[in-house]
């Protein structure tokens, strides 16, 4: 079957460093390679990657990438099925516009919405089935997309009907059918590596910023899927059923070697939501890289439970080329962590930060504010922990304001938004937003003060990195990105369907 895979443009709030972050569509790249492996023709349209220097607006949000008519005009006329990638919750509105345009131009082509099951900013489609089907989607895919997509295509070829299979949601007459259970790939080594040949990689690199701190041409890499921890603010428990699966160390390093051969890329951004569940696997990955004498730089950019690793693993990580680790204390308060249903070992993480600073690795700690039930004491404990980490050598913090991601446990506890695309980490619609954003910037200033006191040379180095466009931290990259938007963006026409 001839299929088209669409990655929507990048959506953000103007001049906000907490939104508009580039996530290369790794799950879409996996789907493309899998469909090709089982014999189907695949066209990829990357709504961001094919025009990353174009900007426009939609509902006060910034659109970066191709216009909707331009995206639809690229669809091959003989396409038989279109898959639209639900990259993240903020993309909801632009996906609506893409679907409307497709239905006008190709009213008889099946349109399938594909959930991004491996991102904390994703949208669990089972939470909005009626609306998504009413918009005009013929099928919704939840969980991991490879096998449900294959079964859907096979059934359409053989019978012309949508099958009642795990991972598929569709409506027939007045009845909505939903497959039981969440489709999970347990043997990740059996999947083909992502189809990055079909994506405009050079355009991603030319933009000059990424999800993780970018020093040169890079690629994302997924070494595991899912997470065993069920944090109440996170969508991953809903999209992965609380299961963690992993690739073997050999398989992970094989992909690195292959990407070096194909693209000359030696920088890899690990996008797992929790890659370090098993310390021994990380040790084995490091040893495999060292044994093969690979000259690579790799970074944990999506966060990890740092305290699941052993202290002695840090020097080995550095030796194997790991240069950056993001982790998420969320708060300095044990009481608030309990409300979040998140385990975290503050003292061990502190020791890990000191060790990373000693061996020359960069580190980021992510915190949240505005969680339901947060108290003044919780806030003070967080501030104290930020200071402690700054004096230990932490390179940067990120402060996210809690937003109710569809599929998370707290989804129904926070209201006030008009559109799902407003569910960003800068939720301006929250009644307490002004108070929370003051605290956010106050924490940044507080961290920077103590960092200047203890490590002034690190601050100076960050200024140099921003000027040269080669980044060691996300903070440097965020400052560059916001400045870039102001200085270089140019308008393009946005045609509504």
- What does the alpha-carbon distance between residue 257 and residue 253 come to, in Å, rounded to a whole number? 6
- What does the alpha-carbon distance between residue 219 and residue 201 come to, in Å, rounded to a whole number? 8
Q: What is the pLDDT of residues 240-268, one digit of tens each?
A: 999 999 999 999 999 999 999 999 999 99
**Domain chopping of the chain, boundaries:** 2-178, 208-488
Q: Which residue has the tokens 């355009």?
A: 203
Q: Per-residue pLDDT averaged across 10-38, rounded? A: 93
Residue 119 structure tokens: 């991102």
Is residue 299 predicted with pLDDT exceeding 50? yes
Q: What is the pLDDT of residues 345-404, one digit of tens each?
A: 999 999 999 999 999 999 999 999 999 999 999 999 999 999 999 999 999 999 999 999
Say whether 163 sits in a helix, a strand or coil. coil
CB atoms within 10 A of CB 194: 25
Query: How big is the CA angle at 204 (ends 465 and 25), to the nearest 5 degrees?
Result: 120
What pLDDT was estimated at residue 487? 57
Q: Per-residue pLDDT averaged across 97-108, rounded? A: 97
Q: Per-residue pLDDT averaged across 77-93, rounded? A: 97
- What does the alpha-carbon distance between residue 18 and residue 398 come to, in Å, rounded to a whole number? 9
Cβ proximity of 282 and 275 under 8 Å: yes
Is residue 493 predicted with pLDDT exceeding 80? no
What pLDDT was estimated at residue 497? 37
From the number of C-beta atoms within 10 Å of its C-beta (0-12, 13-18, 19+), residue 284 rates as: middle
Q: Higher-confidence residue: 445 or 494?
A: 445
- Own/partner pairs for 264-267, CB < 8 Å, 24+ apart? 264/217, 265/217, 265/218, 265/219, 266/216, 266/217, 266/295, 266/296, 266/297, 267/214, 267/215, 267/216, 267/217, 267/218, 267/219, 267/296, 267/297, 267/298, 267/299
What pLDDT was estimated at residue 490? 46
- What does the alpha-carbon distance between residue 379 and residue 401 come to, in Å, rounded to a whole number? 13
Q: pTM of this prediction?
A: 0.94
Length of the chain: 497
Residue 298 structure tokens: 């790799």
What pLDDT was estimated at residue 486? 55
Q: How many CA atoms lie within 13 A of 146 on its CB side?
A: 22
Residue 35 structure tokens: 């469909």
What pLDDT was estimated at residue 494? 43
Pairing of strands 490-491, 168-172: unpaired
Q: Higher-confidence residue: 466 or 483?
A: 466
What pLDDT was estimated at residue 204? 96
Is residue 209 predicted with pLDDT exceeding 90? no
- What does the alpha-carbon distance between residue 297 and residue 269 come to, in Å, rounded to a whole number? 9
- CB contact burial 220-238 (16+ within 10 A = b; e otherwise): bbbbbbbbebebbbbbbbb
What pLDDT was estimated at residue 491? 44
Residue 419 structure tokens: 């559109």
Is residue 492 predicted with pLDDT exceeding 60? no
Q: Report the Cα 213 to chain-centroid distance in Å.
A: 14
Say whether 300 sits in a helix, a strand or coil. strand
Q: What is the DSSP letter of 408?
A: B
Q: What is the pLDDT of residues 166-208, one digit of tens each?
A: 999 999 999 999 999 999 999 999 999 999 999 999 999 998 8
What pLDDT was estimated at residue 14? 81
Q: What is the pLDDT of residues 263-293, one digit of tens each?
A: 999 999 999 999 999 999 999 999 999 999 9
What pLDDT was estimated at residue 104? 97
Task: Return the CA Rg of the chain.
Answer: 22
- What does the alpha-carbon distance between residue 45 and residue 386 come to, in Å, rounded to a whole number? 42
- CATH superfamily of the 2-178 domain: Cobalamin-binding domain (3.40.50.280)
Pairing of strands 139-141, 168-172: antiparallel
Q: What is the pLDDT of residues 414-472, one digit of tens each?
A: 999 999 999 999 999 999 999 999 999 999 999 999 999 999 999 999 989 888 888 99
Q: What's the CATH fold of domain 208-488?
A: pyruvate-formate lyase- activating enzyme (3.80.30)
Q: Which residue has the tokens 């082509």?
A: 109
What pLDDT was estimated at residue 4? 98
Is residue 484 predicted with pLDDT exceeding 70? no
Q: 1: closest CA among 217, 155, 181?
A: 155
Q: Which residue has the tokens 């961290």?
A: 447
Cβ proximity of 28 and 114 under 8 Å: yes
């Amino acid at each position: 079957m001839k299929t088209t895979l669409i990655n929507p443009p990048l959506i953000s709030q103007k001049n906000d460093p907490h939104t508009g972050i580039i996530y290369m569509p790794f799950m879409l790249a996996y789907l493309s390679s899998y469909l090709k492996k089982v014999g189907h023709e695949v066209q990829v349209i990357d709504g961001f990657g094919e025009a990353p220097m174009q900007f426009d607006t939609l509902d006060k949000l910034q659109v970066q990438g191709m216009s909707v008519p331009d995206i639809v005009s690229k669809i091959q006329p003989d396409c038989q099925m279109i898959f639209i990638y639900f990259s993240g919750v903020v993309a909801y509105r632009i996906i609506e516009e893409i679907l409307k345009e497709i239905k006008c131009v190709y009213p008889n082509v099946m349109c399938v919405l594909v959930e991004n099951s491996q991102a904390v900013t994703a949208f669990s489609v089972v939470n909005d089935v009626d609306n998504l089907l009413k918009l005009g989607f013929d099928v919704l895919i939840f969980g991991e997309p490879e096998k449900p997509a294959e079964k859907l295509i096979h059934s359409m070829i053989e019978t012309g009907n949508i099958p009642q299979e795990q991972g598929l949601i569709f409506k027939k007459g007045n009845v909505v059918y939903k497959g039981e259970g969440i489709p999970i790939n347990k043997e990740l080594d059996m999947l083909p590596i992502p189809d990055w040949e079909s994506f405009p990689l050079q355009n991603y690199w030319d933009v000059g910023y990424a999800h993780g701190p970018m020093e040169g041409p890079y690629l994302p890499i997924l070494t595991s899927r899912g997470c065993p921890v069920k944090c109440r603010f996170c969508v991953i428990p809903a999209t992965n059923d609380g299961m963690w699966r992993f690739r073997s160390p050999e398989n992970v390093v094989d992909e690195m070697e292959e990407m070096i051969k194909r693209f000359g890329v030696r920088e890899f951004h690990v996008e797992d939501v929790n890659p370090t569940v098993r310390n021994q696997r990380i040790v084995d990955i490091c040893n495999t890289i060292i044994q093969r004498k690979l000259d690579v730089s790799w970074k944990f950019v999506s966060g990890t439970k740092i305290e699941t690793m052993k202290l002695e693993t840090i020097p080995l990580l550095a030796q194997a080329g790991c240069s950056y680790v993001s982790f998420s204390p969320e708060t300095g308060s044990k009481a608030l962590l309990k409300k979040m249903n998140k385990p975290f070992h503050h003292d061990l993480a502190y020791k890990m930060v000191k060790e990373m600073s000693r061996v020359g690795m960069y580190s980021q700690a992510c915190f949240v504010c505005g969680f339901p039930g947060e108290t003044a004491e919780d806030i003070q404990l967080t501030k104290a922990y930020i200071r402690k980490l700054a004096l230990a050598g932490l390179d940067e913090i990120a402060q996210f304001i809690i937003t109710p991601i569809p599929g998370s446990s707290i989804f129904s506890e926070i209201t006030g938004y008009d559109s799902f695309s407003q569910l960003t980490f800068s939720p301006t619609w929250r009644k307490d937003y002004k108070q929370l954003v003051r605290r956010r910037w106050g924490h940044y200033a507080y961290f920077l003060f103590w960092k200047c006191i203890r490590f002034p040379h690190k601050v100076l180095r960050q200024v140099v990195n921003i000027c040269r466009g080669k980044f060691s931290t996300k903070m440097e990259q965020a400052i560059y990105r916001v400045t870039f938007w102001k200085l270089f963006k140019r308008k393009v026409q946005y045609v509504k369907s």
